[in-house]
Amino acid sequence: MNERIEIRAEGSAMMQGVPIYIFDHGNHGIGRLTFEEYSDGSHVDHTVCLDYDAAQQLMDDLWRAGIRPTEGHGSAGAMRRIEDHLKREMKLSDYFRELVGIQCNLEALREKSRGQ
């Protein structure tokens, strides 16, 4: 199959799901899918093969429709761990800033008391 296939998704608040459209760059599209029964252990061919750009477009469409990767898997999980790490680092940074501020205030009070 050498023709360029696109699978597009559309977000809609009116629907309980994400509408999916499959078409080529001619006047052809896929209406309803037909499911075939396969016996256990038989080889199942893929339904369609997307090129990189079409796959990226589908991912972008799904993102716009509100679909996100499951937490804890792949890049979403890695990003979550980075966010958690940054939150811990920010808390630690705030703590040390507070300690430094307290130390500076103590030194200022000592200087002031020596000057009197």
For the chain, give every domain's residue range.
1-67, 71-116
Question: Length of the chain, please?
Answer: 116
What is the pLDDT averaged over residues 15-22?
80
pLDDT band at residue 46 using 50, 70 and 90 as cut-offs: confident
CB neighbours of 72 closer than 8 A, spacing ≥ 6? 80
Could you tell me the pTM of the whole model? Answer: 0.50
CA angle in degrees (0–180, nearest 5) for 70-71-72: 115
pLDDT band at residue 2 using 50, 70 and 90 as cut-offs: low
